Structure 1
């Protein structure tokens, strides 16, 4: 049996993030072979991660980064169970490295998850699972996207927790001859504030349009007006709806006398695409009664 020294245990802990006793046991179980011990801990970590994977992870951070040449940008949402973990330096470092990976791939979750882990140990998916085992909370690489443009990609982060990371992240791809970085950042700030459903009316989800028309029609019929009158009313009300949810039709927050489309035209810029991630959007959070939880813990004590 190889001698399991404190230095060996320390070295394994630094490489894996495992606890002292877990690291020591891994070395003992594998006769001091560090590579085998890492694999042993990974298997143990995967087991721990599986137990936590059913818990809702709606906290975390959105990470955003634009490539040095400004031609592409990536945005990633990495979720955790609590806001406390998202403020951890290790969590933020991991998110930053995952955003870097997204910039080097096509930006999809599947591509990013399968890519080589920045720490050199397996894939990004493996890295996230090791974090789950080490920190003790469920984590999810929920969303990831990459935008590219012949002109410029600009970014904006709201509720910043660290450079390039916050609760809301936006990427905007523009083309044209003007100051695209400045125009893109301003439009990204507008998007963070207004959460448009699409860039243009043509790109709006047909199901959303039909749903709105149906609601407006039902509301108009309650007034008792004739169908011909209702039809004209719906046209006007849908135009108002488009100004609320379509980016280029919205009044620009920095100059409400102009639409976003008019602002971009004045800047000599053309909108190609945008991505808007709001942390935890669409994730059902489990609501707990804290007082009841504390009371249940003190029963019988």
Structure 2
């Protein structure tokens, strides 16, 4: 029997299975829809789909660097127990390595080849075997002369709760550049800057902040000329707080990051430019359901 696209879509809608899995199920059962559903259930793939509605706000960020390319990938799970599972950690490490070979967007990472399947298919398989919803949520990619990485709260090499990449452009000593880049990456992990520089800030964010500062200044009752100067000064302070290059360097708060980079040029032996950074923190922006410890244990045990 010919398997049509409509049949594949219907089966996917019923089970949440991947396209190739749905097509294979229909082929194996000669187009029998109910038998195909049972086939997927038997393989654990329909079971995985049932879990896909659960909130996955735990997990790990995996980072990998090769040559002048660095990637960070956030892979979520429902509980921290699974994030500490060696099987899950091994999968995250493999996904990060697979991400090195594709574009930076998360859909490209999901479609990347890994162990004879795609990353998305591997994750689906793990959902079925481990028994929790998992998802590849976000990814980032940097290319530069030197890409440095830092993982905060590392649970294994190259993975933890926060992953940071920093790109540096320079013809200087690569080893010293990497050391500087790691320091900057540690700074980024701690301060979570909104942008590299003032020019990179979201204009809407700047305008919103300016409006707030304007209203605050007007409350002082001072003349307009004074208010205008107050706004300029407060905006500059805002830029120092949220722009990486203007922030006080955590390694030496007496210097801005920009000044610390400039001072490092003599040691590196060439001009240095920070070309970009990426910071991924597990569960950032995900609304997590409140759950007590006992309930988390029970869920992990499948009760």
TM-score, reference length from structure 1 = 0.79
Structure 1: state its 5+ residue gaps: 1-25, 31-38, 295-301
Q: In the alignment, is residue 128 of structure 1 matched against residue 128 of structure 2?
A: no
Q: 1:141-193 CA distances to partner (integer Å, 9 max, x unpaired)?
A: 001122111x2000000001101110111000101124210110010011111
Aligned twin of 1:283: 286
Tell me, in whole angstroms, the C-alpha distance in 2 between the residues paired with 1:135 and 1:228: 64
Aligned twin of 2:21: none
Structure 2: state its 5+ residue gaps: 1-24, 30-37, 266-271, 297-303
Aligned twin of 1:54: 53
Instruction: State the shift of 1:41 in Å.
Output: 5.4
Q: 1:172 aligns with which of 166, 169, 173?
A: 166
Aligned twin of 1:100: 97
The two structures, once aligned, show a CA RMSD in angstroms of 2.3
Aligned twin of 1:219: 216
Aligned twin of 1:9: none
Aligned twin of 1:235: 232
Tell me, in whole angstroms, the C-alpha distance in 2 between the residues paired with 1:50 and 1:41: 10
Alpha carbons 1:102, 1:145 under 8 Å: kept: no
Aligned twin of 1:195: 192
**Aligned positions, number:** 254
Q: In the alignment, is residue 259 of structure 1 matched against residue 256 of structure 2?
A: yes
Q: 1:244-294 CA distances to partner (integer Å, 9 max, x unpaired)?
A: 000000011111111100111122221011001111110100113678x79
Aligned twin of 1:87: 84
Aligned twin of 2:3: none
